[in-house]
Chain A
Amino acid sequence: MTEPALAVDVALRRGAFTLEASFAAGPGLTALFGRSGSGKTTLIDLIAGLARPDRGRIVAGGHVLVDTAARRFLPPHRRRVGVVFQDARLFPHLSVAQNLAYGRVFARLPDDPAEYAAITGMLGIEPLLARQPAGLSGGERQRVALGRALLAKPRLLLMDEPLAALDEARKAEILPYIERLRDEAGVPIVYVSHSVAEVARLADTLVVLDGGRVAATGPAETLLRRADLIPLHGEPGALLDMVVEGTDAATGLTRLTGQAGPLLVPDLAKPPGTPLRVRIPARDVLVATALPQGLSARNALPGRVAGLVPAGTGVLVEIDCHGTILLARLTEAAVRDLALAPGREVVAIVKSAAFDPAGFGTGRPTIAI
């Protein structure tokens, strides 16, 4: 078994709040997901060394960061754990270029113009280099903060709700950069969020926190389908890895292909071949027992009922479409009327208009650890 990028097993008591968390994170992006007050930011502080656990051990890439049993505590500046905070925390007395150089000086890293150009290019911050942080927009600040953390060559990158302080337009501006970071920078990322949309779009692995404890951990696509986690993530849904096939100029619909079958979605303005990760919430999927005629919905994916999971007032129907699981939320009456049972052949119907263009992430195969 290969060593995880990060192994955490800590306990901390702060007044009435108790954190007891144990999880491992692989390469790629691990999302710490939960409501505010669930202990996400405390965990980030513990991993970065900004707080000490009462008890426990944190190991990143083979380096012991803290081990209370061995009385070992590595101070933050010797951990090489980069942090991107919710409030970018750029140094106001330094220019953007000086902010970017800050970490390199202390890590005693030699100048690497190629890497510098690659990172500033990837984040689109070259035009900002001579500016002062005070003159930057929220989105620009967050991109500079990302670059600053990356240029210090961290072993691990922590991102504490980096989008929470931004409006929707700014979020949409930053998300593609985080996706490129995940796919190109090769640094394991721990990403804190309470937004299902962000997590569904970015996460390979999910650690669900609730009241200071790990409620569930595993591949994002599996956990986001789980009905027992509804109180935490709101609405379960399927994550599909698809590829853009092309856009029909006449209908304005983009055709995606994937394991589950083809999907037509509103024009995404992405070139053919772009990999995409699509989240389809269970409430946006209907179930038919035969391919319906005269239906306005564009997407009908044949499959087989894989399971029925009671979820609150309804039932979550798991539909196996050629190996990819789709979820549909139905009432118990509907399940009875259609005589749905595992093994039954059905058609899952998804409205094209149900897709939110902002909810599409560039995808890649999900990594499980």
Chain B
Amino acid sequence: MTFGLGPEEWQAVLLSLQVATLATLASLPLGLGVAWLLARRRFPGRALLDGLVHLPLILPPVVTGYLLLLAFGRKGVFGAPLAEFGIVFAFRWTGAALACAVMGFPLMVRAMRLSLEAVDARLEDAAGTLGASPLMVFLTVTLPLSLPGCLAGAVLAFAKAMGEFGATITFVSNIPGQTQTLPSAIYTLTQVPGGEGPALRLTLVSVALSITALLVSEALAARAGRRLGAG
């Protein structure tokens, strides 16, 4: 089953799946934490945090990628000390995952925050009076009730990661087999003569993956609505 894709094209598809999976899983706990803070807590700097989370959504992706390069490049503020421990992002597939995680973060947090806000805070109060600590209230009441919405947020971030291009190519370039994700591969193919066929095939794969992710996200959101409506 190669769907008529060549080995390099397959490589790009698999790399994209790998990058998107890591990006989604790694940003999941942080996204959940930030979404909960924004949904349930009032603290100084809340507006700033909110703005910071949304920044990748409004900045040109190239700018985000360049900022990542400055911060996490080999000589970057965080990149240099991390390199001491052997953790390198620049021009690695892990860097692509970092770029995708940052770009997908606002979408993930937004969906999670909305679904956390939809949980009746009075149920959380009731759980507290029954002896559940704030962490246990979150794990046993808030999270289960908002789970479909939170998963939908994760799926959205995954879909965004599958399609991320600007920040990724700026931060980790476009090296076949290492950092050439699906969109980068399509871009490369459109730049060379005779690449139209493979580019179209990859485009179809990309469309199929995106639609699947969207359907999964919709199904989860519908389930969330049913569950909360039943309460």
User: Could you list which residues of chain A lie within 8 angstroms of chain B, going by C-beta atoms?
Assistant: 48-50, 75-83, 85, 87, 89, 91-93, 102-103, 105-107, 132-134, 148-149, 152
In the complex, chain A residues whose CB is within 8 Å of the CB of B120:
89
Given contacts A76-B128, A92-B145, 17 further A-B contacts (CB under 8 A): A49-B128, A75-B134, A77-B128, A77-B133, A78-B131, A81-B129, A82-B129, A85-B122, A85-B126, A89-B123, A89-B125, A91-B141, A92-B227, A93-B144, A102-B140, A106-B131, A132-B230
User: Could you list which residues of chain B lie within 8 angstroms of chain A, going by C-beta atoms?
Assistant: 120, 122-123, 125-134, 136-137, 140-141, 144-145, 227-228, 230-231
Q: Is A106 in contact with B231, judged by CB distance below 8 angstroms? A: no
Q: Is A48 in contact with B129, judged by CB distance below 8 angstroms? A: yes
Known: A91-B141, A93-B227. A50 touches B130 (CB 8 A): no
Q: Is B122 in contact with A87, judged by CB distance below 8 angstroms? A: yes
Q: Is A89 in contact with B122, judged by CB distance below 8 angstroms? A: yes
Q: Is B230 in contact with A77, judged by CB distance below 8 angstroms? A: no
> Whole-angstrom distance between the alpha carbons of A92 and B230 in the complex?
7
CB distance from A155 to the nearest CB of B (A): 12
> Whole-angstrom distance between the alpha carbons of A103 and B141 in the complex?
13
Residue from the list B126, B128, B145 in contact with A75, Cβ < 8 A: B128
Residue from the list B123, B131, B134 in contact with A103, Cβ < 8 A: B131
CB distance from A196 to the nearest CB of B (A): 28
Known: A93-B227, A133-B231, A134-B231. A106 touches B123 (CB 8 A): no
Residue from the list B126, B133, B228 in contact with A89, Cβ < 8 A: B126
CB distance from A218 to the nearest CB of B (A): 28
In the complex, chain B residues whose CB is within 8 Å of the CB of A48:
125, 129
> Whole-angstrom distance between the alpha carbons of A75 and B131 in the complex?
9
Q: Is A80 in contact with B131, judged by CB distance below 8 angstroms? A: yes
Q: Is A91 in contact with B123, judged by CB distance below 8 angstroms? A: yes
Q: Is A107 in contact with B131, judged by CB distance below 8 angstroms? A: yes
Q: Is A92 in contact with B129, judged by CB distance below 8 angstroms? A: no
> Whole-angstrom distance between the alpha carbons of A83 and B125 in the complex?
10
What are 22 contact pairs spanning A and B, CB under 8 A? A48-B125, A48-B129, A49-B129, A50-B129, A75-B133, A76-B128, A77-B128, A77-B136, A79-B129, A80-B131, A82-B129, A89-B122, A91-B126, A91-B127, A92-B145, A92-B228, A93-B227, A93-B231, A103-B130, A106-B131, A134-B230, A149-B129
Q: Is A77 in contact with B131, judged by CB distance below 8 angstroms? A: yes
Q: Is B136 in contact with A106, judged by CB distance below 8 angstroms? A: yes
> Whole-angstrom distance between the alpha carbons of A85 and B126 in the complex?
8
> Whole-angstrom distance between the alpha carbons of A68 and B131 in the complex?
22
Residue from the list A83, A133, A134 in contact with B129, Cβ < 8 A: A83
